[in-house]
Amino acid sequence: MVSQKAFRLSPRPRGFHVVTREIMEELPDLPQTGMLHLFIQHTSAAITVNEAADPDVLTDFESIFNQLVPENLPFLVHTLEGPDDMPAHIKAAMIGHSIVLPITDGRLALGTWQGIYLCEFRNRASARCLVATIYG
């Protein structure tokens, strides 16, 4: 059995945000066993799984990615939408646009400290659209 639902995450400022609870509120009841595929329909934001217990991790991720891909690089050509646009595309490509999570006993089988991150790379982003596909 396969089901699918599209939904929006509320707008967030630039940075890394744990959105596990918000995503779970959008999903129907999960099967006993299966897989959840989450896809973000944007090229300047990403989705991943990582440490969700210590908020310092979120701050450190933002700092590291800003060091790796800073704004206002003099050789960038795609600058029409502002200095954060092309760096946002590059950062999103580095992390990725989808994740697959196992479902066990009707729940996501995340590790003890894991959570789902929205990685927002634009300075003024709108709501982000996700597509959830449940296989079970």
CATH number, domain with residue 40: 2.60.120.460
Q: What is the pLDDT of residue 29?
A: 96
Residue 132, Cβ density class (10 Å: 0-12 exposed, 13-18 middle, ≥19 buried): middle
Q: What is the pLDDT of residue 126?
A: 94
Domain of 31, in residue numbers:
2-135
Structural domain total, the chain: 1
Average pLDDT across each block of 10 residues of the chain; the chain has 136 residues. List them in order: 97 97 97 98 98 97 97 93 96 98 98 98 96 98
Contact status, residue 119 vs residue 92, Cβ threshold 8 Å: yes
Question: Would the pTM of this model clear 0.85, i.e. be above it?
Answer: yes
* Entry field: residues in the chain: 136
